């Protein structure tokens, strides 16, 4: 079974631009979560989608948004990029049967490395 | 709220040494606990998990026991190898569906 895939793997943008990152979950998984990883802040939760609905959101500004499609694939968008948005963005998928539970294991993709100049 | 406190490194060991990485948590309800490992340039890989008190997760020689009385989930390995060099993250799956709470990570370097 294929794992979680993320595209692109690397991105270089300049301040003020916007960017869209894509995540394809493991087949059959319905929940997709996004995290930002930086050396200073560690792993921070961005948001989670289940059945095309955002269920939970972390403490990030409105410039960070996302969506999920009917096939469970997900995208996140960052508008008006700032230097501090440079990070590794990780997507994770989990089964989410019956809406999910705390025991659901999240499987991570390789990440998208975003550099903002 | 839910949170994880993890021993910060770096940790440097010789091959075949014993490894312990401490992890304690705060949570409401009955969380699940995970250890993930991250190799350079890669995403996180699940190493092991435990879903209830006294459960022991194990994989590739690594073990961790879910201790509710001490709110801990320490990672151990009896004999580390050079190939175990990586960053290890303790994580908690709690009351917020789809969200894992992570520790800050522990960099492990094993020398031959």
Average of per-residue pLDDT across A86-115: 91
Are A43 and B89 a contacting pair at CB < 8 A?
yes
The pLDDT > 70 percentage for chain A reads 100
Residue A68 has pLDDT above 90, yes or no: yes
Tell whether B31 lies on the interface with A, counting CB pairs under 8 A: yes
Q: How many CB atoms lie within 10 A of CB A88?
A: 19
Instruction: Note the pLDDT of residue B109.
Output: 97
**B82 exposure class (CB count in 10 Å sphere: 0-12, 13-18, 19+):** exposed
Instruction: Note the pLDDT of residue A112.
Output: 98
**SS3 assignment, position A112:** strand
Q: Helix count (H) and strand count (E) of chain A? A: 0, 11
Residue positions counted in chain B? 112
Average of per-residue pLDDT across A99-111: 88
When the pLDDT of each residue in chain A is averaged and rounded to a whole number, the result is 95
d(CA B31, nearest CA chain A) in Å:
6
Q: Residue B30: which pLDDT band, with cuts at 50, 70 and 90?
A: confident
Residue of A nearest to B29 (CA): A102
**A53 exposure class (CB count in 10 Å sphere: 0-12, 13-18, 19+):** exposed
Tokens 């631009």 correspond to A17
Backbone angles phi, psi at B60, to 5 degrees: 55, 35
d(CA B87, nearest CA chain A) in Å:
12
Residue A112 has which token pair?
């998208």
Are A108 and B45 a contacting pair at CB < 8 A?
yes
Residue B39 has pLDDT above 90, yes or no: yes
Task: Measure the CA–CA gap between A76 and A58, rounded to whole angstroms.
Answer: 13
Instruction: Note the pLDDT of residue A99.
Output: 72
Of the CA atoms within 13 Å of residue B47, those in its CB half-sphere come to 27
Residue A14 has pLDDT above 90, yes or no: yes
Q: Residue A96: which pLDDT band, with cuts at 50, 70 and 90?
A: confident
């Amino acid at each position: 079974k294929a794992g979680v895939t993320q595209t692109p793997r690397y991105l270089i943008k300049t301040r003020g631009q916007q960017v869209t990152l894509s995540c394809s979950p493991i087949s059959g998984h319905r929940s997709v979560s996004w995290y930002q990883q930086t050396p200073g802040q560690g792993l921070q939760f961005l948001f989670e989608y289940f059945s095309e609905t955002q269920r939970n959101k972390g403490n990030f500004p409105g410039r960070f948004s996302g969506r999920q499609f009917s096939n469970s694939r997900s995208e996140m968008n960052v508008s008006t990029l700032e230097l501090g948005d440079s990070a590794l963005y990780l997507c994770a998928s989990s089964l989410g049967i019956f809406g999910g539970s705390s025991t659901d294991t999240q499987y991570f993709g390789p990440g998208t490395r975003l550099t903002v100049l | 709220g839910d949170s994880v406190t993890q021993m910060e490194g770096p940790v440097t060991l010789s091959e075949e040494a014993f490894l312990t990485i401490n992890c304690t948590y705060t949570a409401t309800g009955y969380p699940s606990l995970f250890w993930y490992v991250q190799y350079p340039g890669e995403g996180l890989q699940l190493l092991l998990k435990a879903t209830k008190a006294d459960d022991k997760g194990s994989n590739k020689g690594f073990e961790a026991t879910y201790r509710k009385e001490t709110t801990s989930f320490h990672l151990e390995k009896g004999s580390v190898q050079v190939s175990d060099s990586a960053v290890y993250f303790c994580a908690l799956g709690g009351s917020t569906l789809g969200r894992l709470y992570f520790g800050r990570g522990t960099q492990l370097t094993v020398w031959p």
